[in-house]
Amino acid sequence: MANNVPGVRPAAPIAANDGFRQAMLKTALETIPQLNEENYSIWKDKMTALLKLRGVLTALNNTGTPLGDSDNAELTMLLLSKMDSVTHQNVVTADNSESAQEIWSSIKERFASSQSSNRARMFNDFLYVKFQEDAVETFVTDIKVAIKKLVDVGIELPKDILAYLVLFKFPASLQNLKRQIMHSDKDLTVDFVCNHLTQYNNEARAELKETSGKPTEAVLFSSKGKSKSTGNEHANGSNQSNTSKRCKAGYHNPKQDKNHSADNCWHLHPEIAPEWWRDSQAEWKASKEKGKTNYFMSLLTLWIESGDPKSRIILDSGASAHIFNDAKFFERIETGDFDVIKTGKQNATMPIKGKGTVRLTWGKSSITLDNCLFVPDIVINLISAGELDAKGCSLHSTNSKFTVSRNGRVALKGTIQNGLYSVNNPTLVGAFKTRLSANVATAEDTLQEMHEKYGHASVQRIEPLLDDSISRNERDSFQCKSCVLAKITKQSFKSESKIVDKPFERLHLDLIGPIKPESSLKHRFILTVVDNHSGYLAGFPLVHKDDTTDVLITLLENEKAKRGYFPSMICSDGGGEFIGNSESYSGCQSPGERP
């Protein structure tokens, strides 16, 4: 700045740290982003810090004292290089392109102007920040950036008002957290709200990760000797928990955080935790139990279906051995007191009463399962997916159905319901081809009962399932009255219908509903009225079905006052809401009568 005395900066003495200073300036310059419409706050903070470091910020803001040529050229190049093309076109003009002070003022005027339009734009940006439950960190960042923009344009709202505005954005699922924050005895600020929200989100994500990482155990096979080592298993579980980085229910990890002591651990002392945290823990445990409930409810649904419940077969990835509850499944069996199996319930075991080979037959296809366990107390039969995989079998599933094959040949098939792989019921089991009672006819089932049991299926379709006691003559002569009546076709409508000559001469009525959910005004039905002449369709919302008469009479009276006549014919489908009040419409036949 040799050409301008008031703007001259004293020359910095040469020191040993000049190299470090230059490196710091270079790094700071590289981290400053290109100025655009979205990042002014970050850009301003970094650019201001750099200008302070260079010692030119005061001179740049003091437009009354011009800069020297060298400083002006240097700062002009800096500002122009740190804005994108759109910002350059909106900020730089022919009048200010050669003045760093004017470019700086133009940037502040555009992005931090205190004019009402700019203040309104920044306030709207803050108001329309949307909360997304799957992006809580982004929401917190957007809120803080929006508040900083408000401060840049001179809008400084009270801290509690800003906090209330942020809480207003919480969804209904976070109402418990919202109430806890609002009833806190601490000063309500945006930072206080955001900190609680971040902590709540971290807890929810950690619990979700922990839940998704645990497989569902159905049945585990163990020997009696192994079952006695429950104490060692518990010890191993404790050691495994100690290696976790998070505290868990009833356990505190001192290595998680040096500032997080056992006295302040909510998992050890839930009574000191805020109510929203306890509520979230309760909801998480309920959802966890719900998953188990759904699994076992699916088992129960299969168990109580028609037929013998103990004949159901499930393909289970959690079973370490094939398990069957009836000796009739076995082709060869060695009975005796063997080991026990452990179920998913703690300390619950069932005795193994035998081991052997199971044979299952579907039509002309038959498979043999080796090393199967005979457990009479188990309520459902299990085929181990792990054992099948060890034998070289592969599983393929699509469209809620699955097949297990080996060497290109299908071994068994089944359906998938609620995550359960249910094997199709075999037609024959065991060495003597004992017929299963599940979904297969017994001597007590008549042909009519079997026909109705399978949804009125044809005799040809259910013939493989029929008992041998049903003769061929009975099968050929069988007729179902319900099926015969259902196949009777209705007579065609032979009357002719012509379009009338004037509007409102003939009306067609119908009622829609009940509609769920109901409207905000409790409407659950819609009365539709179609004019035969014009095809005009009108709909009238109804709270109750019985309101049809009142609405229709009001419509007829209003149109009578406009047109001077009632319709000569009203057509409906004969529903009770129309037939039951037919006397009310008798006057509609004549223009001179009131309905």
Quick one: three-class SS letters along 178-205? Answer: HHHHHCCCCCCCHHHHHHHHHHHHHHHH
Per-residue pLDDT at 539: 86
424 and 320 co-located in one domain = yes
Question: What would the 3-class secondary structure string for 531-566 be?
Answer: ECCCCCEEEEEECCHHHHHHHHHHHHHHHHHHHCCC
419 and 319 co-located in one domain = yes
Residues 6+ apart with CB under 8 A from 424: 362, 412, 413, 414, 415
More confident residue, 341 or 398: 398
Phi, psi of 509, rounded to the nearest 5 degrees: -115, 150
**Residues 556 and 566: beta-carbon distance below 8 Å:** yes
In a domain? residue 378:
yes
**Residue 4, Cβ density class (10 Å: 0-12 exposed, 13-18 middle, ≥19 buried):** middle
331 and 416 co-located in one domain = yes
| Owning domain of residue 128 | 118-212
Instruction: For residues 437 and 362, give the distance between their C-alpha atoms in angstroms, rounded to a whole number.
Output: 14
Per-residue pLDDT at 458: 84
73 and 148 co-located in one domain = no
For 34-43, 443-452, 480-489, which range has the lowest pLDDT when averaged over its residues? 443-452
Tokens standing for residue 560:
């009578």
340 and 410 co-located in one domain = yes
Average pLDDT over the chain reads 74
332 and 368 co-located in one domain = yes
In a domain? residue 255:
no
23 and 76 co-located in one domain = yes
107 and 175 co-located in one domain = no
What is the total count of domains within the chain?
Answer: 5
SS3 488: coil
In a domain? residue 295:
no
559 and 470 co-located in one domain = no
Phi, psi of 331, rounded to the nearest 5 degrees: -80, -40
In a domain? residue 3:
no
pLDDT in tens, 126-136: 888 888 777 88
For 79-88, 181-190, 429-438, which range has the lowest pLDDT when averaged over its residues? 429-438
Per-residue pLDDT at 336: 85
Residue 180 has pLDDT above 70, yes or no: yes
**What DSSP character marks residue 251?**
B
Per-residue pLDDT at 388: 87
Here the CATH number for the domain that contains residue 530 is 3.30.420.10
> Across-strand partners of 571?
508
In a domain? residue 232:
no
Per-residue pLDDT at 496: 65
- Picking from 111, 142, 177, the residue at the C-terminal end of a domain is 111
Residue 76 has pLDDT above 60, yes or no: yes
Q: What is the pTM of this model?
A: 0.31
- Listed residue (422, 144, 414, 464) closest to 298, CA to CA: 422
Residues 6+ apart with CB under 8 A from 89: none
In a domain? residue 72:
yes
Residue 77 has pLDDT above 70, yes or no: yes
In a domain? residue 416:
yes
Per-residue pLDDT at 256: 63
In a domain? residue 595:
no
Per-residue pLDDT at 583: 42
Residue 477 has pLDDT above 70, yes or no: yes
98 and 23 co-located in one domain = yes
For 33-37, the CB contacts below 8 A with 24+ separation are 33/82, 34/82, 34/83, 34/84, 34/87, 35/82, 35/83, 35/84, 35/87, 35/107, 36/83, 36/84, 36/86, 36/87, 37/86, 37/87
> Across-strand partners of 333?
356
Per-residue pLDDT at 579: 59
Here the CATH number for the domain that contains residue 323 is 2.40.70
358 and 383 co-located in one domain = yes
Cis peptide, bond prior to residue 514, ω within 30 of zero: yes
320 and 424 co-located in one domain = yes
SS3 118: helix
- Picking from 212, 231, 249, the residue at the C-terminal end of a domain is 212
